[in-house]
Amino acid sequence: MKPMQDIQLEMVGAVAVVRLCRPAKRNALSDALVAGLRDVFANLPSEARAAVIDGEGDHFCAGLDLSELKERDAAEGVHHSRSWHAALDFVQHGPVPVIAALHGAVVGGGLELASACHIRVADATTFFALPEGTRGIFVGGGGSVRIPKLIGVARMTDMMLTGRVYDAEAGERIGLAQYLVGAGESFTKAMDLAQRIATNAPLTNYALMHALPRIAEQSADHGFFTEALISSIAQSAPEAKARVQAFLDGKAAKVQKDAKAG
């Protein structure tokens, strides 16, 4: 385990476990913690094939550490926000898929961080909120771009205007999480998913992280062309050819209904 300021990195096989370590502050995001996230994901060990973000204690992340909120002019505010954008871009657009193990508060900047991950697992204690609107501020960590892609502009507007809080079940239903598990089980489920993802062909994982979101935002004509390019590149990789041949030879498992998939 590599200790850093307010954050820890541990390799569990091919999975990088990144843990927020400010439990007394409900893992609220300080500038130091955001910088730590940036540094960790910019320098993941070469053996990492997937990552899990977890929060120490009872909460994943309760948002911006308001004790650090200070007087800034407009230019300083823009640069501060952009520093958060750069950090969370390393999570979303880094080398490996990232799974968030959610529990307790996933609020404000915590939801912005979760939305930068590729898969979100919520346990029964999880609750989601965007209180910035009721505090006279606005999201600044990329939430206005990422969160509407998960739940739509109307729902995000409602959350910010009214301070609405979604519990775990409702959050999963509207798209804030893809998986819902029992209390205390989100990390175990996230690790199971990460270990499964880590066995995929790295180039396929990379295409899913980097190409699929861009294709979804392109016009149909451009998207089809991009898909053709990425598909041809992925299937030309030696590992892809070996996997397809293994399937044809009856050496690879066929798709089965997985009762635990939800």
DSSP 64: B
Q: What average pLDDT does the segment 6-15 reach?
A: 97
Read off the pLDDT band of 245 (50, 70, 90): low
Q: So what's the pLDDT on residue 92?
A: 97
Q: Are 52 and 114 in contact (CB under 8 A)?
A: no
Q: Are 39 and 69 in contact (CB under 8 A)?
A: no
Please tell me the pTM assigned to this model.
Answer: 0.91
Count the domains in the chain. Answer: 2
Q: In this structure, are 187 and 239 located in the same domain?
A: no
Q: In this structure, are 127 and 212 located in the same domain?
A: no
Q: In this structure, are 172 and 212 located in the same domain?
A: no
Q: Which positions are catalytic?
A: 112, 132
Instruction: Look at residue 222 and tell me if it is in a domain.
Output: yes
Q: In this structure, are 176 and 110 located in the same domain?
A: yes
Q: What is the pLDDT of residues 144-172, one digit of tens each?
A: 999 999 999 999 999 999 999 999 999 99
Name the least confident of 43-52, 73-82, 180-189. Answer: 73-82
Percent of the chain with pLDDT over 90: 79
Q: What average pLDDT does the segment 195-222 reach?
A: 95
Q: In this structure, are 9 and 91 located in the same domain?
A: yes
Element (H, E) at 100: strand 98-102
Instruction: Look at residue 255 and tell me if it is in a domain.
Output: no
Q: Is the pLDDT of residue 239 over 80?
A: no
Structure tokens at 82: 């952009």
> What separation, in Å, do the N-terminal and C-terminal C-alpha atoms of the chain show?
31
Q: In this structure, are 177 and 58 located in the same domain?
A: yes
Q: So what's the pLDDT on residue 251?
A: 61
Q: What is the pLDDT of residues 103-123, one digit of tens each?
A: 999 999 999 999 999 999 999
- How far from 122 is each of 89, 126, 197, 246, CA to CA, in Å? 22, 6, 18, 35
Q: What average pLDDT does the segment 9-36 reach?
A: 96
| 206 vs 253: which has the higher pLDDT | 206
Read off the pLDDT band of 3 (50, 70, 90): very low
| Residue finishing a domain among 179, 197, 215 | 197
Q: What average pLDDT does the segment 54-74 reach?
A: 86
Q: In this structure, are 223 and 120 located in the same domain?
A: no
**Tokens 């910019």 -> residue:** 42
Q: Which domain holds residue 206?
A: 202-248
- Buried b or exposed e, range 172-199, using 16+ CB within 10 angstroms: beeebbbbbbeeebbbebbbbbbbebbe
Instruction: Look at residue 117 and tell me if it is in a domain.
Output: yes
CA distance 152 to 154: 6
Q: In this structure, are 23 and 142 located in the same domain?
A: yes
Q: Is the pLDDT of residue 67 over 80?
A: no
Q: What average pLDDT does the segment 191-210 reach?
A: 95
Q: In this structure, are 218 and 134 located in the same domain?
A: no
Element (H, E) at 250: none
Q: So what's the pLDDT on residue 236?
A: 82
Name the least confident of 119-128, 181-190, 229-238. Answer: 229-238
Q: In this structure, are 161 and 233 located in the same domain?
A: no
Q: In this structure, are 164 and 211 located in the same domain?
A: no
Q: What average pLDDT does the segment 68-97 reach?
A: 90
